[in-house]
Amino acid sequence: MKRTTSILLAAAIAAVPFTAEAAAKKKKRPRRPQTVGPAINENKATPISRIKAAPGFKVELVYSVPGVQQGSWVNLGLDNKNRIIACDQFGGLYRFPAPAPGKKIDPKSVKKIPVDIRAVNGILWAFDALYVAVNDYERKIDSGLYRITDSDGDDELDKVEKLRPMFARGDHGVHALLLSPDKKSIYMITGNNTEPAEAQKSRVPRVWGEDHLIARMPDGRGHNRDRLAPAGIIYKISPDGKQWEIISSGYRNIFDGGFNKDGELFTYDADMEYDFNTPWYRPTRVNHVTSGSMYGWRNGTGKRPEFYPDNLPASINIGPGSPTGVTFGYGAKFPAKYQNALYILDWSWGKVYAVHLEPEGSSYTATKEEFLIGSPLPVTDAIIHPKDGAMYVSIGGRRVQSGLYRVTYTGKESTKPAPYKYNKSKLVSLRKKLETFHQKNPKAIGQAWPNLAHSDRFVRWAARIAVMHQPLKQWTNKALKEKDHAKRVEALLGLAKMGGIDPFHREDTDSPVNNGLARQIVNSLLEVDYAKLPTAQKHTMVRAYQIAFNRFGRPSRGTVEKIVHQLNPHFPAPTFEENWLLCETLAYLSAPDTAYKTMKLIAAAPTQEEQMEYARSIRFLKQGWTPKLRRQYFEWFLKAANYRGGASFSKFIEFIRRDAVASLSRSEQTKLKDILDKKPVRKSPLEMLAEAMVGRSYVKEWKLDEISKIAAVGLKNRSYERGRKMFAAAGCFACHRFANEGGMTGPDLTGSGGRYNTHDLLDQIINPSKEINEQFVPIEIITLDGKKTTGIVVNLNGDGVTVNTDMFDPNQRVTLDRKKVKSIEPSKVSPMPAGLLNMLQKEEILDLLAYILSGGNAENEMFTK
């Protein structure tokens, strides 16, 4: 073995605390039960010794919920007298006063509300009633919206009205209820397993479709295979429950949301953990819910990436997790920045984040901070109590042991009510003005059209949605003949959606498929000079083609030749995002050199996500292959068999290969029989990491002060491409998320430039155990029989605690019985190997630093223009 490989393996093995014993005892990950067993008997919530809060904050366990009697709590709310209401996921409602400072909740004060209601996931006191959203797994009552009132004025809720039954399945059902900022209506949040409710209005044009140019691969484990657009929906509802309006759609499993003082709504959406390390994986994320917004969840490989123009981006990507409660800190007796923070709860990884939002354009950007961390700590909801200014946090769900915690500030900073800096940006005013036209309005086109190519993405979105709400005859010719091509492509994207019907579209529309319109749209796009468009509009143009082909059908041969002639010279492009769209489109059109160009991209791509996306796009391609290219393609599958990802990762690789084999002629299958029959050689993650470093040699042991001084003056005229390659060569993508690629066992590094200066970032890389990110601190679990398991808690179910035991393999997990656990302690050793810079040259390190600090932005001033 070469010295380089030996050094890499030695450094990694010495630094990684995950035990071989735990890895050897890997068990098949249990399926989520379709039926839920009896409540657990343990009566002890996670002790505060296992919970760490932000500096200056104190956590108290004020109530350990008796599981047999009161179940497992998933939602908190307040009634008209500021008494706390809690709900059992599979049982009833409980009400009790907040305890006095320093005191625990008196068990006798916790009273069950004597009404026939159960499985409540959303609580809201408004309009002199308690509104609840029911999501009943066991279907003992209808899921949906209910109103509970006190009919005789004795301060006891006693009357239940079903305002709207709804059909939902499992966790991804009917969730939170929120009072609108004007206090005149109710917002309901629903997950993607809730059937869309009949709504009188919709700010989202109801022509939602799947819009996949290359056939979607459903999840290999069967998850949500039958769930199609519009996915999770947010509704606005009148107090009597009769008038419903769709505000936003395209979510996976949003559980809760919160309005800031500007009246803007934010929610925290789920990831799909089966998709870890695939190009279509999207981490949990905070979304700004604007009028008519759509966030692009589709099942399997169909999730729209953030750069797709018919989809909006997150305010911040958080990472792996399982989103539950959301609340703002308004009214808390906390320091100013925590009063204005958005708190989001992650059930499976046991965290409460404080998300600090900052206005950016007409929307927001954000930074995140781990506010509470515990292991295990299945947090479900949080509220700020107006009386004592404390935060109350519940844990529970799926019949795990439940409890209620109080979080107070005991530090030295002032807790006086903090001023709020209202967002008075002209761009916000413009967006909101455009949003008033998300309905039929004769003034809409005149107001919206000038903003179709606006540099602000949310303004651009609001403008296009306003146009799409207007009758087609009012704007079709305007779109087809628009002289500003940046505006034209945006309008044509909307026209393709409104003028055609997606094959999977499930609603009737007023606009039947019109082949004449299809020709007009394509001919209008053919007039656009692709090279002169800004990057965002290049994405929009190619996506408009894709939607037109999907909804109207494949163009004629002559038209295909013209489109290929227009797009093919620009493929490959400088960025993965542009290549993603061009590769899909040119493969669909069977452009003659797509196979050759794509195989070159696969060979050069530094990440498995990028390679996988290209391989997926050409799996049906039949033209342009040579025997050598075909062999290279199927050799890639032998390599990809060793890539790691979520539970469905290997199935997706299998599906891509299956379709690729099916696209071969019989003659080709015969000629390639040896490679098609060849079995992959299985390699360990460390062997794969070492293989990525082949050809590199030991340079030196870089010291912090030395390289920090060099970097202080050296981050100019750097190479973006080499920086990205070094990020892969140093093994960073194996564990870290960066610019929507990479692993999930380490922190997302995309925002490093906002968190670290150059010296501190180098310190983190060179001395990884000096200060370990709390979110990714491995834990050591010792069971009563003395056996030790080291890893990260990633899931819970009843008494089961699921631990990821291999930082290089997110699907390598063991499940332990919590009742048999003796101790859980944090590890003092970072899972990140030391010495990763020792095989990089000085210039390579500088390029790597520039790449990380830029957030992966090739336009950053640190790079050569």
Q: ∠ at Cα 781 (777, 782), nearest 5°?
A: 150
What are the strands, taking DSSP E only, across 150-264? 159-166, 174-179, 186-190, 201-202, 232-237, 244-251, 257-259
The residues that bridge with 64 in the sheet, in sequence order, are 403
Residues 201-210 pLDDT 10s: 999 999 998 9
What's the rounded Cα separation, in Å, for the pair 425 and 174?
35
Q: Write down the pLDDT at residue 54.
A: 97
* Residue 26 to residue 29: CA distance in whole angstroms: 9
C-alpha span between 673 and 670 (Å, rounded): 5
Residue 632 burial by Cβ neighbours in a 10 Å radius (0-12, 13-18, 19+): middle
Residues 155-159: contacts with CB under 8 Å, at least 24 apart: 156/114, 157/113, 157/114, 157/115, 157/130, 158/114, 158/115, 159/115
Cα dihedral value 239, 243, 247, 253, nearest 10: 70
Q: Is the pLDDT of residue 681 over 70?
A: yes
The two three-digit tokens of residue 726, written as one number? 């070094």
Is residue 34 scored above 70 in pLDDT?
no
> Which stretch of 104-118, 436-450, 707-721 has the lowest confidence by average pLDDT?
707-721
DSSP annotation of 302 reads G
Range of weakest confidence among 105-119, 478-492, 814-828? 814-828
pLDDT at 213 over 80: yes
For residues 419 and 91, the answer to whether their CB atoms sit within 8 Å is no
Averaged pLDDT for residues 735-753: 71
Looking at residue 18, what is its pLDDT? 35
pLDDT at 671 over 80: yes
The total number of residues shown for the chain amounts to 865
Q: Is the pLDDT of residue 750 over 80?
A: no
Closest CA to 824 of 377, 375, 434, 450: 375
pLDDT at 648: 93
Average pLDDT value for the chain: 88
| Residue 602 main-chain phi, psi, to 5 deg | -60, -45
The predicted-structure confidence for 300-351, as pLDDT tens digits, reads as follows 999 999 999 999 999 999 988 999 999 999 999 999 999 999 999 999 889 9
Structure tokens at 372: 């509470």
Residue 137 carries which DSSP code?
T
Distance from the first to the final alpha carbon of the chain: 41
Region class of 192: left (phi > 0), else alpha (psi between -120 and 50), else beta:
alpha
> 274: which DSSP letter?
G
Greater model confidence, 738 or 36 = 738
- In terms of Cβ atoms closer than 10 Å to its own Cβ (0-12, 13-18, 19+), residue 2 is middle
Name the pTM for this structure.
Answer: 0.85
Query: What Rg value do the Cα atoms of the chain yield, rounded?
Result: 27
Least confident of 226-235, 688-697, 733-742: 688-697
What integer pLDDT is reported at residue 268 of this predicted model? 98
Between CA 329 and CA 352 the distance in angstroms is 12
Beta bridge partners of 174: 190
In whole angstroms, what is the distance from residue 865 CA to residue 848 CA? 17
- Closest by Cα among 285, 296, 289, 374 to 52: 374
Helices (H) and strands (E) in the chain, counts: 25, 34
Residue pair 805/812 in contact by the 8 Å Cβ criterion: yes
CA distance 629 to 650: 23
Given a cut of 70, whether residue 695 has pLDDT beyond it is: no
The per-residue pLDDT for 166 is 98
Question: What is the spatial distance between Cα 469 and Cα 467, in angstroms, rounded to a whole number?
Answer: 5
Task: Give yes or no for a contact between 290 and 462, defined as CB atoms under 8 angstroms apart.
Answer: yes
pLDDT at position 25 is 40
In the three-class reduction of DSSP (H, G, I as helix; E, B as strand; rest coil), residue 394 is classed as strand
Dist. CA 221–CA 671, nearest whole Å: 33
For residues 688 and 403, which has the higher predicted lDDT (pLDDT)? 403
Classify 285 as helix, strand or coil: strand
With cut-offs at 50, 70 and 90, classify the pLDDT of residue 687.
Answer: low
At residue 746 the predicted structure's pLDDT band, cuts being 50, 70 and 90, is low
How many other C-beta atoms can be found within 10 angstroms of the C-beta atom of residue 49? Answer: 10
d(CA 281, CA 294): 17
Tell me what the mean pLDDT of segment 5-33 comes to.
36
Q: What is the pLDDT of residues 593-639, one digit of tens each?
A: 999 999 999 999 988 999 999 999 999 999 999 999 999 999 999 99
| pLDDT over 90, % of the chain | 68
In the numeric block, the tokens 């009917």 are attached to 174
CA separation for the pair 849, 350 (Å, rounded): 31
Contact 366, 356 (CB under 8 A): yes
- Cβ atoms of 97 and 104 within 8 Å: the answer is no
Q: Is the pLDDT of residue 137 over 90?
A: no
- Helix ranges, 482-607 (H): 485-499, 515-526, 535-552, 557-567, 576-588, 594-604
Q: How far is CA 84 from CA 111, 125, 153, 257, 394, in A?
A: 11, 11, 19, 19, 11
Beta bridge pairs of residue 131: 124, 147
